[in-house]
Amino acid sequence: MLTSMLFIGAALAGDCDLPTMSKEILEVGPHEAAPMFVQLAGCDAKAAAKVAPKVIPTLIGESDGFDAANAAIEAGAGASVMTWLEGLQQDERSRAVRSFGKRCNESQAVQGFLIEAEGTLGQDFWTGRWYRALTECRAEGITALLSAKVDAGAADDRSGFFGVVEAYAVNVGAQAIPKLVALVEAESDLEMQINLVGAFADAAQAGTVSGLNAQIAEQAATAVRELAPKLEAKAVDKARITLNVLLDEEGSDTLVAVRYKDRLQDDATLLYAAVVFENATCKNGKLTQRLHVADVTDPGQTWPDQLLEKVQSTAELTWTMNLAERCKGEGEVRYFLPDDPFADKDAQRQWMKDTIRKNAKPDVKNAGRVDEETISL
């Protein structure tokens, strides 16, 4: 430890005794060697590169080691870094690669190292997920690397392809939108559509340190809305989520009619229903129940998971639901709504019949049934 303190102190003082530093760095353990190598590289890159083949492969896969690896790359000793990476555990290697990504924008040496690594490793570069280091490195060569990989398609590695598309979208931003549109338009596979649609949010920098870019988000949202009619139904669900991430809530609600286009009625509305039970325990201890039923129609702007709030607000405002109050007891109101719009009236009636049968309480007093007016959302 004393040796490394003297070593670093001398380097910081500007007294770079290269022969001594080059000798001492070979005599210490890997924990001490990492910061010593950074200091040596700061004094003289050639001297650092000379000892790198012996020092770098011995380093520990931790922050000091990552700093030393980056210093070695800057010194032109990238081959030593590649040897070191081969000996690391997968999680250590991933963190090391991420450290390269953090330096990439400002360092031509790191950019060159990553491009060369892709050429050396081939497919292992991509299956090893080195592309995660490239998301925010917007050097021309790095962007070209990602773009070419996206153009090559998914082949047999869909998961890896989706990761590359995400990295490409984050890297390129607004310029990724036309390519994403073309990829979606050329794809009929549901899984591919879902993942490609999600990448529009990545292009708008959603979830990045810099935060959502409002201008790109608007462009991406427009593209997603225009693509929606060409998507499989489940992919429209993903489009809805993506538009919400892009802060286009109004646009996401316009996709309801697209998602359920096969359920639209003759008047271009969607058909739902509401079954509502009032359950009460009266003051005298007796149980009672009252049923409310209503048709619910929607002009194609309400998702099924938004039904409860809208139906409940209308029911509480316009229906008489005072069963517990009338018998001076306590009670609850239970709402039952369908998971999806109905194809037709027959399907609606069957659902209402089944829902009533499952939730009616034949062993309690029946306070009647109220057929309410249609709720138009």
Domain boundaries, the chain: 1-121, 134-259, 266-376
Residue 13 has pLDDT above 60, yes or no: no
What pLDDT is stored for residue 265 in this prediction?
A: 95
Residue 136 has pLDDT above 60, yes or no: yes
What pLDDT is stored for residue 14 in this prediction?
A: 52
What's the predicted TM-score (pTM) here?
0.83
* pLDDT tens readout for residues 17-57: 888 888 899 888 989 999 999 999 999 999 999 999 999 99
What pLDDT is stored for residue 154 in this prediction?
A: 87
Cα separation of 61 and 30, whole Å?
Answer: 10
What pLDDT is stored for residue 21 in this prediction?
A: 84
What pLDDT is stored for residue 157 in this prediction?
A: 87
* pLDDT tens readout for residues 290-313: 999 999 999 999 999 999 999 999
Choice between 156 and 202, residue whose per-residue pLDDT is larger:
202
pLDDT-derived band at 349 (thresholds 50, 70, 90) equals very high
**Mean pLDDT score across all residues of the chain:** 92
Choice between 185 and 10, residue whose per-residue pLDDT is larger:
185
What pLDDT is stored for residue 15 in this prediction?
A: 66
Least trusted range by pLDDT, from 128-132, 306-310, 368-372: 128-132
What pLDDT is stored for residue 12 in this prediction?
A: 45
